[in-house]
């Protein structure tokens, strides 16, 4: 396992966190392979997926340090312990569950906690969480992030919800550390029809627009 600061930097460098939330665990290995071929290295398996912990364990064994395999929708200490034991390199909660900070950090794992308001975002930061997951961000947009970071520029924000090919670069230019993308990155039709090459192409496009938004030419 890489040191915490290296994992944190790797997640930022990845730019895009793929949030996988499916009705079945069966297609996830193929989804992950397609995403990784497209340059999306950070893959978050939500615990709403049946058998999510086993999937996380299998992906960690298969990919090792070539990818960042994380767990999402982690709501309590028991779930946090289970995904860490499975090898998850980063842990994500949609809520400000600050009690997860010592659990994750003692195990050397990156932690991202949810927030919606400036007060929640700052509280998550002060708790020691590595990233603030602003969620849901679909009705807030990049303008909200820009306003939030004006008085709170130290926040490492990863917006989730409302992130697509158009808004992803807007969020990056607003100062986000990375973006989280779910259905816009992994449309149900592509997964249903097992169009893995198309999924790889979409992942490549997400990676491209985020990289371009980070380029000084686009600042």
Which CA distances in Å does 173 have to 28, 33, 38, 214? 31, 28, 22, 7
CB contact at 8 A, 33 and 134? no
Q: What are phi and psi of 19, to 5 degrees?
A: -95, 105
Closest CA to 152 of 175, 127, 130, 173: 175
Structure tokens at 207: 């990676």
Catalytic residues: 44, 133
- Which residues on neighbouring strands pair with residue 71, listed in sequence order? 45, 91
Structure tokens at 133: 């997951």
Q: What are phi and psi of 91, to 5 degrees?
A: -125, 135
SS3 167: helix
SS3 135: coil
Query: Do β-strands 179-181 and 157-159 pair in parallel, antiparallel, or remain unpaired?
Result: unpaired
CB contact at 8 A, 53 and 80? no
DSSP state of 18: E
């Amino acid at each position: 396992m890489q040191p915490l600061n290296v994992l944190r930097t790797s997640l930022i460098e990845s730019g895009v966190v793929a949030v996988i939330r499916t009705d079945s665990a069966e297609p996830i290995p193929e989804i992950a392979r397609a995403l990784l071929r497209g340059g999306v290295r950070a893959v978050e398996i939500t615990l709403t997926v049946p058998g999510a912990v086993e999937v996380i364990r299998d992906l960690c064994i298969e990919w090792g340090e070539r990818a960042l395999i994380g767990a999402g929708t982690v709501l309590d200490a028991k779930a946090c312990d289970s995904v860490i034991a499975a090898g998850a390199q980063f842990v994500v909660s949609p809520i400000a569950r600050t009690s997860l900070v010592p659990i994750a950090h003692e195990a050397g794992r990156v932690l991202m906690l949810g927030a919606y308001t400036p007060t929640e975002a700052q509280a998550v930061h002060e708790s020691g969480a590595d990233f603030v997951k602003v969620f849901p961000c679909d009705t807030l947009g990049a303008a909200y992030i820009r306003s939030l970071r004006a008085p709170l520029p130290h926040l490492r924000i990863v917006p989730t919800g409302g992130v697509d090919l158009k808004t992803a670069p807007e969020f990056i230019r607003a100062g986000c550390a990375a973006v989280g993308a779910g259905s816009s990155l992994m449309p149900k039709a592509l997964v249903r029809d097992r169009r893995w090459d198309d999924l790889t192409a979409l992942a490549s496009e997400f990676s491209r627009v985020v990289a371009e938004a980070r380029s000084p030419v686009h600042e």
